[in-house]
Chains A and B, each alone.
Chain A
Amino acid sequence: MIRQIAAAFIFIGGTGSLHAAPLGLPPVPIPADNPQTPEKIALGDKLFHDQRISADGKVSCATCHEKSKAFTDHKPVSEGFKGLTGTRNAPTVINSAYMKTLFLDGREPDLEGQSKQPPVNPVEGGLPDHDAELAIIRNDPDYVTAFREVFGVDREHITMQEVSRAIASFERTIVAGDSPFDRYYYSGKKDAMDAAQVRGLKVFLEQGRCVSCHRIEQTQALFMDHRFHNIGVGFKRIRGKEAETAAAFLKSKHGGADIDHTVLTNRNMSEIGRFAVTENLTQVGAFKTPTLRNIEFTQPYMHDGSLETLEDVVDFYNNGGRVKDTDPVSAFLSGGIRPLDLSNGQKKDLVAFLRALTSPSVKAQVNSGGNTP
């Protein structure tokens, strides 16, 4: 399936020509210093699925980003080596090629930067450092051959740059559009969505206020805004302790601690969100807007995986960023979040619409357990 997507939508044979993007999506942005080639994509595919690149030999990228689960893991927070758990919900890799920052707090600027972190995170891959990761790769003659062919480097000169570029190239092939919504909205097929979904789109665009962050443009829709918002998720954990949590985080960061390690191993510090990266007081508890495409298969939801169903998510927004409408409101709440006063019918329609964002290719992967093209 993956190669099929690659063949259909991405650069072919390194000629540099761009093929049509899936319906509803813009062309995949490819960095000038990391052009797509079929060989590089295949190498990235192998690295992505290689469980040897972890402390116990059981964790790969695909452990938390599994094709049969729409490139998520269906767990509230991810499980790494020895069953250790992190603090955040694994976002889907599908369409991550369009993201302008990576990770839920945007701490890496691109896919190349992102894939370097998990193998050496103490609750994910668990490797002590990148040297250990490279040693595993250099000890596999097939990898040595592949890196020579793709990057022209010999065994000793394989670095994290080549490894991360190969993985990023593979991830840039994992794109999916052509959902019922796309066919309804961009191809004018009025029967592509059912009546409830059409009503749900209206809620999405109007009273639900969803579209302000989960954007739909005139010719394409990424359902994200590349920004960071505090929507009220998870703040209860540090409520009343924001100042001490932020101060303790900064003390640790300025003392040399790795952000990636800190936010994934300390549940309280995880909740300071984008602030961990920018140290901007206005970004405490702010997390990146995720895409909504294929959301039907990426449960549970929110940065901490705290909401199980799409119905829960809609209720959360309807309550103005609260699980229950009697819960306190976060003092740091984004100005875009407020009670929506949606009726039960509108809420059902909205959920129906969210299910219209599923790509047929993703649905086929999920239904076949990841084995059908």
Chain B
Amino acid sequence: MSRIDRREFLKRGGALLAASSLPLSLVDVAFGKTSEQNFTFAYISDSHLTHLKGREFVRNWDRGLIRAIAEANLMDPRPDFVFYGGDIAQLGKPEEIDHGLELLGALRGDVHYVMGEHDYYLDLGEHWRKRLGPDHYSFDHKGVHFVVLNSIRTFDDWTYKRWPSGAERMHQMARLDNPQGSPFMVGEQQRAWLKDDLDKVSKDTPLVVMSHSPLQKIYKGWNFWTEDAEQVQALLKPFKKVNVLYGHVHQIQTNQIGNISFNAAMATAWPWPYPATYKQQASYLPRLTVNMNRADPFFERDATGWQFINLHTGRVDVNYLLPGNQNRVVAWDDKAGRPADTQFQDTASRIPPQTHY
């Protein structure tokens, strides 16, 4: 689509994209200079579909995914593709993965998948891979190199020797603050694959790295953590523009470490609060602008959502669609050299956190 077409499109018919409250200046940046690299993709994550019995699944989680799909299907112009960020399933059951893929079949357009720990630890991803193919791969799109990693593996000893059954292993990995848990990692084998893959890519090429866990260390107790994050980051360091997008945390996070921008996805299932312990890890503190408050239990979609990404000049702007709440945009801030919430960055305009008594 030529520049003029696209801008005209946005002005009139292309409304839905414009509708997502992109500031006009951003639209100019996005579609003005190097339009051959500008595109949009949708990003849905963390549905945690939970099998009950027979054809029965937990309604709440089903409705979250169904709604995100229905809303994403309204995007006009269409996104180039959709990413699913992991955790289709809650306990890795084939029924859950199959059910999720059946629902996701309603999405208009191609879908790329990321492996989540809830898809993995029952059968070590066997059913997922049977349905969806390899769990780490790369592809190029409009001048951007996409890399997908399985970042939720862990030590072999924990994976293979500790547990009497796959189901027990899955339950252990699903727990928060679990003293018997184990940190996520990309692992040596995938890092070697990543190095090979990136060796073939020019350092000027913008990278988008999709993982389930954050490729940074935020909070170990909930596995908001990747044990070999520094080693993965070292492989990404030579590139000028690197964007890491991850699920797992069910909340809006943004961070900049060196040349690498980090943005997290909202879940369609439920929100996690920001652990107070974030403050203990000053060096990795993501910039928090609006705290995740406890969701209103009546509105099952409260504090959940999905997002679409505008890729412009190799940078990522994340548009969060938050049912029942004000949508938000975390966009690349060229002056600051990091992604920033476009509305709440200013201290005076922040929403103060809820006080708990």
Interface residues in A329-345 (C-beta closer than 8 Å to B): 329, 331-336, 338
Q: How far is the CA of A242 from the CA of B322 in the complex (A)?
A: 19
The 8 Å CB contact of B13, one of A251, A282, A332, A335, is A251
Q: How far is the CA of A336 from the CA of B323 in the complex (A)?
A: 11
Contact A282 B299 (CB under 8 A): no
- Given the interface pairs A334-B299, A335-B299, A335-B300, the reply to whether A254 lies near B13 with Cβ below 8 Å is yes
Shortest Cβ distance from A245 into B: residue = B74
Shortest Cβ distance from A278 into B: residue = B19
Interface residues in B46-100 (C-beta closer than 8 Å to A): 59-60, 63-64, 66-67, 69-71, 73-76
Residue of B12, B70, B74 with highest tally of chain A CB at under 10 A: B74
For A246, what are the chain B residues with a Cβ–Cβ distance below 8 Å?
16, 74, 76
Contact A331 B67 (CB under 8 A): yes
- Whether A212 is near chain B, meaning CB under 8 Å from some CB there, is yes
Shortest Cβ distance from B301 into A: residue = A335
Contact B75 A281 (CB under 8 A): yes
How many Å from the CB of A83 to the closest CB on chain B?
A: 34
How many Å from the CB of A164 to the closest CB on chain B?
A: 29
CB within 8 Å: A-B pair count:
88
For A279, what are the chain B residues with a Cβ–Cβ distance below 8 Å?
15-16, 18-19
- Whether B159 is near chain A, meaning CB under 8 Å from some CB there, is no
Interface residues in A261-296 (C-beta closer than 8 Å to B): 279-282, 284
- Whether A250 is near chain B, meaning CB under 8 Å from some CB there, is yes
Contact B73 A338 (CB under 8 A): no
Contact A338 B59 (CB under 8 A): yes
For A243, what are the chain B residues with a Cβ–Cβ distance below 8 Å?
73-74, 76, 108
Contact B324 A282 (CB under 8 A): yes
- Whether B302 is near chain A, meaning CB under 8 Å from some CB there, is yes
Q: How far is the CA of A250 from the CA of B302 in the complex (A)?
A: 27
- Whether A141 is near chain B, meaning CB under 8 Å from some CB there, is no
Interface residues in A301-359 (C-beta closer than 8 Å to B): 329, 331-336, 338
- Where chain B touches its partner, the secondary structure class is loop
Residue of A227, A250, A281, A331 with highest tally of chain B CB at under 10 A: A281
How many Å from the CB of A230 to the closest CB on chain B?
A: 9
Shortest Cβ distance from A338 into B: residue = B59
- Where chain A touches its partner, the secondary structure class is loop
- Whether A247 is near chain B, meaning CB under 8 Å from some CB there, is yes
Q: How far is the CA of A134 from the CA of B74 in the complex (A)?
A: 41
Shortest Cβ distance from A254 into B: residue = B12
Contact B12 A336 (CB under 8 A): no
How many Å from the CB of A262 to the closest CB on chain B?
A: 14
Q: A209-B298, A242-B74 are in contact. List 13 more A-B contacts (CB 8 A).
A: A243-B74, A243-B76, A246-B16, A247-B16, A247-B76, A279-B18, A280-B321, A282-B305, A331-B67, A334-B301, A335-B299, A335-B323, A335-B324
16 pairs, CB–CB < 8 Å, chain A vs chain B: A242-B70, A242-B74, A243-B74, A246-B74, A247-B13, A247-B15, A247-B76, A250-B19, A279-B19, A281-B20, A282-B327, A329-B63, A335-B63, A335-B64, A335-B300, A338-B300
B residues bordering A, Cβ < 8 Å? 11-13, 15-16, 18-20, 59-60, 63-64, 66-67, 69-71, 73-76, 108, 298-302, 304-305, 321-324, 327
4 residue pairs, one from A and one from B, having the closest CB atoms: A335-B301, A279-B19, A335-B300, A331-B70
